[in-house]
Amino acid sequence: MGSKLLVGTALALLAGPALAEGPINITTYGGAFGDAVNEAYTKPFTEATGIGATMIDNSDPPTRLKAEVEAGNVQSDVFDVEQSDVLRLCDEGLIEPIDPAILPAGADGSAPADDYLPAALHECGAAIMVWSTVIAYDTSAFPDGAPATVADFFDLEKFPGKRGFIKRPKYTLEFALLGDGVAPDQVYDVLSTPEGVDRAFARLDTIKGDILWWEAGAQAPQLLADKEASMTLAYNGRIFDAIVQEGKPFGFVWDGVNLDMDYWVVPVGAPNRDAAMKFIAFASDPAQQANLSKYIAYGPPRKSASASVGMFKDGTTDMAPYLPTTPENVERALVNDAEFWADHDIELTERFNAWLAS
């Protein structure tokens, strides 16, 4: 944070009586993200408060949370869930409200409500990080010039090769409309109409025969590595790892980026509710959020944290060019609308599956 006094005050509030609390269990999607959370949040939290914390990997934390609460046997105190899950779980009364008064002020002293990005705070959740889907490509496939726009993704003549898409309507339909010239701030207005849905599928029809579908995040960079596809939609963190840690000859394009967020939530019936709330308060500190980007290519959801983002853990890679929240990267971004998907996911999934089978 910008002030050591603010940090000291926050840690003092967390310490003391908290020494007798916990330990807590924290369920995330695991993998590289779970490792990053452990380094950036869990270990420092325990050092600062004395509250033990154990990380639990799960491929579907929202489903596990729901099952545990409904069974009256809650095993984890904190869960990592996506934005649309926060809305649903909160509406169903399965997660606790989070008092914004427990959250630290911004690095500049601003109130949390002013410091968090739009939609990053919910009555039942606080955003952990911002991630995105981006256009990734094999640099060796385009020796005469790299793609730079969503339109290039759909241009099979100028940029030949198969295209990778995530096998779900979310992200795919928005991207199709962006590829058809719809401005980011108009995408959901268009997609809310029958004509807009038809327009998205018509755009996908133009390259349908050249689409390779993936479902797990690791599959997207593998399509490029195996030269099965020359371009693919991919999670930005996966592509960062492939480029920086594995040395893959990949590039990526921020045009058409779709921003989404994961959130901390506390299940109703959490055995260590108070300690869980202390963990969320600690992990919501701008200094800690900036530290997360040292371990993984996700951006902080608090604006005042961005200035503190530095190098990757290798000590040589500047993280700013790889983060979806860096100002120049976010300029052309579409912010995913969780409420839209809460209202339309079922019908659009049915339409999407029918289109796939046609």
Residues 116-128: tens digit of each pLDDT: 988 899 999 999 9
One fold for 4-130+261-330 and 132-259+336-357: yes
* Alpha-carbon span 79 to 68, nearest angstrom: 12
Residue 18 pLDDT level (bands cut at 50, 70, 90): very low
If one counts every other C-beta atom within 10 angstroms of the C-beta of residue 5, the result is: 9
Whole-number CA gyration radius for the chain: 21
Question: Hey, what are 47's tokens?
Answer: 């050092």
DSSP 271: T
What's the mean pLDDT in 323-352? 90
pLDDT of 51-109, one tens digit each?
Answer: 999 999 998 999 999 999 999 999 999 999 999 899 999 999 999 999 999 999 999 99
DSSP notation for 74-116: ---SEEEEEHHHHHHHHHTT-B----GGGSPPPTTS--HHHHB
User: What's the CATH number for 132-259+336-357?
Assistant: 3.40.190.10
**pLDDT 10s digits, 250-304:** 999 999 999 999 999 999 999 999 999 999 999 999 999 999 999 999 999 999 9
Domain extents in the chain: 4-130+261-330, 132-259+336-357
Q: Which tops the pLDDT comparison, 338 or 347?
A: 347
Fold of 4-130+261-330: D-Maltodextrin-Binding Protein; domain 2 (3.40.190)
- Burial of 293 (C-beta count, 10 Å sphere; 0-12/13-18/19+): buried
Task: Dig out the tokens for 171 from the structure.
Answer: 């992200």
pLDDT of residue 84: 87
Host H or E run for residue 61: helix 61-71
